[in-house]
C-alpha cells in the first residue's frame, strides 16, 4: 500500500522542483496527478497555500492582489516595495465589487484597504 505523503512534503517537493528550474507546469501537473490518484483533490487549495508558504520562507512571495480596476505599473511597484521580498509574484484579480482600493494577501499577512472593506467596517460599527 502506498504511504500517504504529507502536504508539507509535497509542497517542499514542488518548491524544490521550481527552484531547480524544472518546468513549473509539469511540476504542478505531477502534484495534481498525485492528489487525484490519492483522492485528495479537496486539498488542492491547501497545497497551493503550503507551496506559497514554503516559497515565502525562501524569499519568493506570491501576493494575491485584488482591485476594482487594473493596477498601473507604478502601483504594482509600490506594492512589491511594500512586500519587500527577494522575489515577488503578483497574482492580480480585478473585482469591481470591492469598489476601490486594494486587497493584498501574502502568506501570513493580509492588507485589505478596499472601499468595500471600509464600508463593511462601517456596517460593523452598528450597535
Partner 1 sequence: MMQTFTQFAASDIFSALGIDWKMLVFQVIGFVILVWLMAKFVYPPLLKTIDKRQEQIEASSEAAKEAEEKAAKASKEITKLLAEARKEASEIVTTAKEEATALASETEAKSKAESERIVAAAQDTIAKEVLAAKKALHNETIELVASATEKVVGKTVNASVDTKVIKTALEESK
Write out the residues near partner 1 by the rule CB under 8 A.
Answer: 67-69, 71-72, 74-75, 78-79, 82, 99-102, 111, 113, 115, 119, 122-123, 125-127
Contact by Cβ (8 Å): 91, 62: yes
CA distance 48 to 18: 13
Closer CB to partner 1, 6 or 77, in the complex: 77
Closer CB to partner 1, 46 or 99, in the complex: 99
Bridge partners of residue 103, in order along the sequence: 66, 112
Nearest to 76 by CA among 98, 58, 91: 91
CB of 71 to partner 1, least distance (A): 8
CA dihedral sign of residues 18, 12, 48, 78: negative
Closer CB to partner 1, 1 or 122, in the complex: 122
CB of 49 to partner 1, least distance (A): 22
CB of 125 to partner 1, least distance (A): 6
Closer CB to partner 1, 23 or 99, in the complex: 99
| DSSP H or E segment with residue 124 | helix 115-124
CA distance 90 to 100: 18
CB of 54 to partner 1, least distance (A): 25
Amino acid at each position: 500500500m502506498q504511504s500517504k505523503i504529507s502536504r508539507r512534503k509535497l509542497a517542499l517537493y514542488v518548491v524544490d522542483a521550481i527552484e531547480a528550474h524544472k518546468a513549473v507546469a509539469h511540476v504542478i501537473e505531477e502534484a495534481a496527478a498525485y492528489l487525484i490518484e490519492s483522492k485528495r483533490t479537496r486539498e488542492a487549495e491547501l497545497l497551493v497555500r503550503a507551496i506559497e508558504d514554503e516559497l515565502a520562507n525562501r524569499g519568493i512571495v506570491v501576493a494575491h492582489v485584488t482591485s476594482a480596476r487594473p493596477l498601473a505599473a507604478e502601483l504594482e511597484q509600490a506594492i512589491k516595495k511594500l512586500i519587500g521580498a527577494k522575489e515577488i509574484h503578483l497574482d492580480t484579480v480585478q473585482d469591481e465589487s470591492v469598489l476601490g482600493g486594494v486587497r493584498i494577501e501574502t502568506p501570513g499577512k493580509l492588507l485589505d484597504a478596499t472601499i468595500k472593506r471600509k464600508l463593511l467596517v462601517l456596517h460593523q460599527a452598528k450597535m
